[in-house]
């Protein structure tokens, strides 16, 4: 696996492949890689000719300094996983490479309601940082395909909106959520949970599945209330549970047949904030 820390190095390496019309697949990450990330690499290996993974703990998307500081940095283990998976290129830039002084990287676009609800409401500025880093990384890598996880459902909506706004030609490929054996969605933050709470956090997915199974039996309001109640257990603090239209991300009152409907959740477990979601009906 080639490792590049500079934009110049990466672009020079990719140039001949681009000339030969090879398809470049790109998987941006914050590192602390796990099976969820690896599923994106796997899909890129299947669909694209060259797979580029980036590891960059982007400071502009962290709305709390303590979260940024506590974010795990596990370069050695990450690169071993990437090599084992057959990733072709790792881009591991410093902040000045991503945000050089002479380039305006801020993304000032109107996301409408997309960045005001759920994560946007609880993590002010987070999606401006996400849009900024993904736009900048796309400008650097210029991939044919961008692979992102459904795990971060709202992030996908923001990135998709940003890509449409800038008329980017890159295809956005959304990959399914990979889970731990007891159902907890894999996340780099899971490492910070105690063993007991990590096991117990399987209740988040159990709740999402329960909502999925009950969606025709109960009103949206009752489903949301009951879901929150199920998560009010010692050590858990649900932040939101919302049933939304999967396109607009607006809360919905009724699940009617033609709608694309998703249930999204954020829960604090100990001092770790976890998010998850389930598609109740329809597709993107
Ligand atoms: P992160 O390093 O958390 O920014 O994640 C990098 C990419 O991996 C994002 O597109 C995430 O949505 C995706 N990802 C993270 N966790 C999972 C998971 N459990 N299953 C599938 N994709 C995931």
Enter the tokens of residue 201: 């956090």
188-276 fold: 3.30.1300
Query: φ, ψ for residue 178 (rounded to 5)?
Result: -95, 135
CA 118 to centroid of chain Cα atoms:
14
Q: 32-42: per-residue pLDDT in tens?
A: 999 999 999 99
- Report yes or no on whether pTM surpasses 0.85: yes
Q: CA neighbours within 13 Å on the CB side: how many for 110? A: 1
Give the span between the Cα atoms of 42 and 40, in whole angstroms: 5
**What's the 3-state SS for the chain?**
CEEECCHHHHHHHHHHHHHCCCCEEEEEECCCCCHHHHHHHHHHHHHCCEEEEEECCCHHHCCCHHHHHHCCCCHHHHHHHHHHHCCCEEECCCHHHHCCCCCCCCCCCCCCCCCCCCHHHHCCCHHHHHHHHHHHHHHHHCCCEEEEEHHHHHHHHHHHHHHHHCCCCCEEEEECCCECCCCCECCHHHHHCCHHHHHHCHHHHHHHHHHHHHCCCCCHHHHHHHHHHHCCCCCEEEEEEEEEECCCCCECCCCCCCCCEEEEEEEEECCEEEEEEEEEECCC
How far, in Å, is the centroid of ligand 1 from the Cα of 219?
Answer: 31
Give the number of the atom of ligand 1 that is nearest the alpha carbon of residue 147. 10
| Domain boundaries, given as residue ranges, for the chain | 2-175, 188-276
31, 34, 37: which to mutate for ligand 1, most atoms within 8 A of CB? 37
State which fold the 2-175 domain adopts: Rossmann fold (3.40.50)
CA of 152, closest atom in ligand 1: 12
216 CA to middle of ligand 1, Å? 30
Q: Which atom of ligand 1 lies closest to the CA of 150?
A: 12
Q: What's the whole-number average pLDDT of the chain?
A: 97
Tell me if residue 37 is catalytic: yes
Greater model confidence, 63 or 58: 58
How would residue 257 be classed by pLDDT, with cut points 50, 70 and 90? confident
Q: Which protein residue has the closest C-alpha to ligand 1 atom 22?
A: 149
pLDDT in tens, 78-111: 999 999 999 999 999 999 999 999 999 999 999 9
Closest residue to atom 8 of ligand 1, CA basis:
37
The ligand 1 site (C-beta within 6 Å) comprises 29-30, 36-37, 39-40, 148-149, 151-152, 175, 177-178, 185-188
The pLDDT of residue 283 is above 90: no
Atom of ligand 1 nearest to the CA of 179: 19
Distance (angstroms) between ligand 1 centre and the Cα of 26 equals 13
Give residue 236 CA to ligand 1 midpoint distance, Å: 22
Picking from 149, 115, 154, the residue whose alpha carbon sits closest to that of residue 40 is: 149
What phi, psi does 201 have (nearest 5°)?
-70, -5
Minimum CA distance residue for ligand 1 atom 12: 149
Q: How far does residue 20's CA lie from ligand 1's centre (Å)?
A: 30
Model confidence at 284: pLDDT above 80 = no
For residue 23, what are the contacts with CB-CB under 8 A and spacing of at least 6?
47, 48, 49, 50, 144, 145
pLDDT one-digit tens code per residue, 190-207: 999 999 999 999 999 999
């Amino acid at each position: 696996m080639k490792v590049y820390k500079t934009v110049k190095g990466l672009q020079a390496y990719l140039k001949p492949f681009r000339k030969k019309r090879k398809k470049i697949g790109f998987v941006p990450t914050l590192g602390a890689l796990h099976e969820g990330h690896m599923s994106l690499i796997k899909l890129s290996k299947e669909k694209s000719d060259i797979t580029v993974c980036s590891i960059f703990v982007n400071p502009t998307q962290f709305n709390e300094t303590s979260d940024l500081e506590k974010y795990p940095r596990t370069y050695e283990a990450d690169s071993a996983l990437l090599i084992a998976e057959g990733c072709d290129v790792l881009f591991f830039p410093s902040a000045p490479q991503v945000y050089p002084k002479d380039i305006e990287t801020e993304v000032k676009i109107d996301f409408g309601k997309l960045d005001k609800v759920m994560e946007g409401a609880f993590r002010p500025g987070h999606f401006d940082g996400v849009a900024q880093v993904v736009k900048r990384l796309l400008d650097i890598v210029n991939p044919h395909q961008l692979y992102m996880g459904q795990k971060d459902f709202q992030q996908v909506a923001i990135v998709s909106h940003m890509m449409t706004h800038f008329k980017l030609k890159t295809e956005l490929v959304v990959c399914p959520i990979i889970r731990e054996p007891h159902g907890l969605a894999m996340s780099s933050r899971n490492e910070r949970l105690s063993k007991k709470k990590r096991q117990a956090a399987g209740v988040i997915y159990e709740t999402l599945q329960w909502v999925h199974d009950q969606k025709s039996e109960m009103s949206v309001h009752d489903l949301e209330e009951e879901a929150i109640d199920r998560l009010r257990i010692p050590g858990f603090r649900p932040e939101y549970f919302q049933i939304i239209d999967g396109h607009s991300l607006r809360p919905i009152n009724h699940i009617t047949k033609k709608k694309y409907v998703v249930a999204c959740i954020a829960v604090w477990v100990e001092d770790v904030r976890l998010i998850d979601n389930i598609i109740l009906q329809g597709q993107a």
